[in-house]
A = this chain, B = another copy of it.
Amino acid sequence: MQAFDLHQHLIGRQGSRRDLNTPALVVDADALERNIARMAAFAKASGLSLRPHAKTHKSAAIARRQIDAGALGVCCAKLGEAEALTEAGIDGILITSPVVGAPAVARLAALAGRAKGLMAAVDHPHAVAALAASGAALTLVVDLDPGIHRTGVASPEAALALAQQIDAAPGLSFAGLQFYCGSQQHIEDFAARREAIVERTDYLKSVIALLTEHGLEPKIITGGGTGTHAIDAELGVFNELQVGSYVFMDKQYADCDLVGDGAQAFETSLLVDARVISANHPMLVTVDAGFKAFATEAGPPPVVSGAPDGSQYRFMGDEHGALIPPKGVAPPALGEVVTFAAPHCDPTVNLYDAYHAVRGDTLVDIWAIEGRGRSA
């Protein structure tokens, strides 16, 4: 892998970060470890289990750190991600998106035979029937639509019918409910976010009550995210949290008041180091990072260091970006390294094969992103 070939010799060498070939995906290992420890302590104090979402980092090295800090395992968004992390030795995986279609069902059945503690989410009777017909021994959670119509059954009655179908199928076992309020995660104001989640949690309670009434009490109630974890813990209905972005805290989440007191509980740890590769204009320089180096759907990446305060980034196509200092201030020189925060962590990570873990200005390790590109 390119990152290992190019940079193995820099590990542990004082100040070696500046010698990275750019663009390079960089993790501030100190900040990452503090984020992992903080969320672990929060979950412990709240009496909640953690199964952090690995769709954010796609990496066994980070999953292992989360598990070492007390997590039960990790969530994966896709079957391919779960295969990659299982291969790398991670147990306790919950696949949070429905696995549908004959090729995928066969792979899931095979994975169940080698992945310890594997679980998967389902939201449709046809999918449950296909899994039952595969003959695999599988533990399933029923996914509830929180109202965004992305995935999940549409009503308490549909949840009950699916749980009953699972319970009746030899090989399949009903473990609980999944409820991910995706659209509520990024409501910037804490009170408004809390109000939205309280309403949705009342709905979740009604589903739990119906299932319990029919003898199918859900043991696992999983969901929540970085944006709502404090509210979810306070409301006390979930017993497992799927928080993902807290490890990196991208721009989207950094704009949210996560705990209701204006304080930021987590630190930005995911960075991209880029380099000035063209400097022929007095008002801007060009860095070597564009659409192929940053996720683009969350706006431009914030400048963290290496450029004058107030400098802005503007996308300039597939491979490049403009770095624009404030009026009258000189831009960085040719060859200088500029550090950016990821605009949106998950799809930014998915562009790279490895993390460069740094402490200060020294490269301390390189971590493979085993799940990169494993969208199928």
Contacts and interface: CB of A to CB of B under 8 A. Distances in A.
A289 B136 CA distance: 26
Contacts of A319: 55, 77-78, 97, 375
CB-CB nearest 10 A-B residue pairs: A296-B297, A21-B376, A291-B347, A151-B278, A100-B277, A149-B281, A318-B346, A154-B280, A77-B319, A292-B350
A104 B276 CA distance: 12
A50 interface: no
Contacts of A148: 316
Interface string A136-157: 0000000001001111111000
A257 interface: no
Q: How large is the interface on A (under 10, 10 to 19, 20 to 34, 35 or more residues)?
A: 35 or more
B318 A124 contact: no
A289 B293 CA distance: 20
Contact of A126 (B123, B127, B334, B346): B334
A376 B182 CA distance: 34
Interface string A264-284: 000000000001111111001
Contacts of A276: 100
B291 A346 contact: yes
Interface string A284-326: 1010110111011100000000000000000111111010000
Contacts of A374: 2
Residue with the greatest number of chain B CB neighbours at <10 A, chosen from A22, A107, A158: A22
Contacts of A152: 278, 280
A317 B295 CA distance: 12
A337 to B, nearest CB: 8
Interface string A100-117: 111110010000000000
Interface string A44-81: 00000000000100000000000000000000011010
